[in-house]
Structure 1
Amino acid sequence: MFAWEWLRRTPAYRHSWARTRGSGLVAQARAAHAFGLVALAPPTLAATEARPIWLARHDPQVLRAHVLSEAAVAQELLDIRRLAVSAAIGFDEDDAEHWRLVVAGHAIRIDVHDGTLLGGPTLLRFELQGLAAVRPKLPPLDLLVRGALGLRPRPTPPREGRAARWIDELRTADALDDGATQHEIARALFEASVPASGWRTEGESYRLRVQRLVRAARARLRNPLDRAWFR
């Protein structure tokens, strides 16, 4: 979510969207890949509406799978029509399918090679390699398996403790884009705690907090695809 919210705010992405929206599919795909996406999405849309599909090189939780042709019992087959609340798909030049499924309120990314999930219940072989690389894939794989077998998902992990600060950084970036001063940003974020006048002396702690938020927001805009967003 945060990766997209920062990416869609960057001038480079907005320019690329405006420049390539009328271009051919190849040009659009190249532009999307430059930003770590399978396909470009309108920068006017929030993450819940845009549903961005990230390339596996940026998102370590992407599951890579191959469709197998041999027969299998029903409980071994994946049927996305019964599993996913919503689904989005993108294709690449090799006709691989890049799926984004929402299962039990969580997004799961699957790259499907040598076949398709569109034809009904499918037998999949997942690629898992290396201990460090496997670890981030275990939660989405577990969620996928439990959903497909009709089992209850495991308890949701604790909320990211830095989320509140990240949201303040996004609000700061939006305020800067609107031409707000640091004092105005402080008043918007901290309301009555920030004095209306003389805040450089009476509200020094808030001034320093806003300065840190401004620095962080500008850094995020320079590097929107922080690895922290994909953990």
Structure 2
Amino acid sequence: MGVFRALRLLGGLFTFTVVEVVALGLWLALVLEEPLLVDRLPATAPDPAILAGAALVVGLFLEGFVNDLTVNGIRLRIPVHRLALFSITEAVIWVVWLRIAQTVGGVQGIALAGVFLAVVFVPQHTVEDNVLRGKGVLSRLFAVGTVSFSLVEAVGATIWLVFVLEPEAALAKVPVAVQTAMPALLLDYLAVVGLAVLALFLLLEHTIALRFGLRQAPGEKSVRQAVLESLESGSD
């Protein structure tokens, strides 16, 4: 792998990870109507729930767009409508995830929501991979390779939600010596700590997913290769 390609992949990896973390953090803060955010909204702003949904869908779309550019490079026909569909379906998954956690309640509800996320993300990520590889949207609904990073994302999201909804339970797992050494500001904003933990898990998840998306079967051309060869043949 060339140096420039490696830098492009790393840049894309960090970019769409940051985009997703910001989108999820902003969405949850608006849904839960965190005063630090909601109180700063102008009086003419739409309802926080509407803003939350828009922020999540737009953020997930941008994450998918950058992901596509990272895997395939710049190509003539980026499947924008499919990326938009994926962003909407994934947004719905996150909304249902949160609703399960809130409805059941407690750490048990968060754990159940995490199981839901891990199971549902496998077909979601499989279909996304189909599109990244230039195949039919429903050519596969289950790929074993998507299980690993779906689990990583679900675990990270579960830990994040514990910090947000059940901070006492999260602190109970932290040794007293560590809590004593933690700055008071972190203890006051455990939701931010949870979001930082989520960012680490998403970086790992995206790394695994990117390697999976870049795989190439023997004799198979990538989408980018096919486009370049088509352009070269057309110029002859």
For the criterion TM > 0.5, the same-fold answer is no
User: Would you tell me which structure has more helix in proportion to its own residues?
Assistant: 2
User: Which of the five TM-score ranges fits, normalised by the shorter chain?
Assistant: 0.3 to 0.5
TM-score (norm 2): 0.33
Max radius of gyration: which structure? 1
TM-score (norm 1): 0.34
